[in-house]
Structure 1
């Protein structure tokens, strides 16, 4: 996992260093897919997570944007746990609604770093709400005037009774508001 994240980061840095376009400082909305890879104790009984989110980017300066994110992601239990839960009639997945706000800083026209904090609301009975923090890196490249494809990777931690951590990979389509 560390090798994949390092390779992705290096590829983004190299690509960003060759970028020649001027980034628009207009407000944008991105709609994308998130793929979560649990790590630590969270990975002991959960497999990959899959979901989607919308992220608004509102300019505060030419390089810094205020972000607001809302979405849904679900994690499935590993097969032995899933089979045991299914046998007693329980949910075979956990669903969450993350609500986050933060900032995104563009180091170059395409390469950025971001950080968000917020809440993760569980949709299953008894899952509750947790504090979320999520630093990340990404690369956004234009596909037409005012429209971008965005690739991002972030570490995300959920702090509640037990901590859950994951790496999340995102691909999104962004357009002007």
Structure 2
């Protein structure tokens, strides 16, 4: 019984801490949608992609912050010479560092893994994604280049729009 009470107290303290951080605007979380425009060899084999997910930001000191996201990204296969390439679908998990240049403009660098959910490809790819964005109140719009490294590079320019609470 004592362990359950301690666990409940720890959980309540965690919830209060997160709620306090959100009220102080040091922590925000919200949904996003994104579009991906393949480049390089990936452009030859796949069409424009789309995705959605959940993004979180934690403000640190001196304009720095930590950002993270988890979502779903899908690229349809292109048809070349009567051959249709298989789609690429993945669950990207990213974490990164964000730096606010001026009041609404920021740059960020994220990294993580894209866990493939295709039927013909398994495993994960390593992600590197530098970007720039603006955030006005809760609205967050960003442009980025994202590269997935696994037996070659699947690179794309992305546009991401979300709202953080």
TM-score between both structures, scaled by the size of structure 1: 0.74
Shift of 1:62: 4.8
Q: Residues 26 and 60 of structure 2 are in contact (CA less than 8 Å); yes or no, is this contact kept in structure 1? A: no
> Within the alignment, does 1:141 sit opposite 2:131 as a pair?
no
**Equivalent residue in structure 1 for 2:90, among 65, 72, 96:** 96
Across the two proteins, how many residue pairs are aligned to each other?
141
Shift of 1:94: 1.8
Displaced runs of 4 or more, over 4 A? none
Q: What secondary structure does 1:42 align onto? A: helix
Instruction: For CA contacts below 8 A with separation 6 or more, give which structure has more relative contact order.
Output: 1
Q: What secondary structure does 1:152 align onto? A: strand
TM-score between both structures, scaled by the size of structure 2: 0.79
Counterpart in the other structure of 1:128: 123
Shift of 1:79: 3.6
Q: Alignment RMSD, CA only?
A: 1.8
How far does the alpha carbon of each residue in 1:53-88 deviate from its partner, in whole angstroms, 9 at most, with x for none? 21110122151111111000100012447x745xxx
> Within the alignment, does 1:74 sit opposite 2:64 as a pair?
no
Q: Residues 25 and 63 of structure 1 are in contact (CA less than 8 Å); yes or no, is this contact kept in structure 2? A: no
Deviation larger for 165-174 or 51-60: 51-60
**Equivalent residue in structure 2 for 1:154, among 122, 139, 144:** 144
Counterpart in the other structure of 2:109: 115
Q: What secondary structure does 1:124 align onto? A: coil
Counterpart in the other structure of 1:166: 156
In structure 2, C-alpha distance between the alignment counterparts of 1:68 and 1:150, rounded to whole Å: 14
In structure 2, C-alpha distance between the alignment counterparts of 1:84 and 1:45, rounded to whole Å: 10
In structure 2, C-alpha distance between the alignment counterparts of 1:102 and 1:94, rounded to whole Å: 24
Higher radius of gyration, 1 or 2: 2
Counterpart in the other structure of 1:41: 41
Q: Residues 25 and 61 of structure 1 are in contact (CA less than 8 Å); yes or no, is this contact kept in structure 2? A: no
In structure 2, C-alpha distance between the alignment counterparts of 1:123 and 1:135, rounded to whole Å: 24
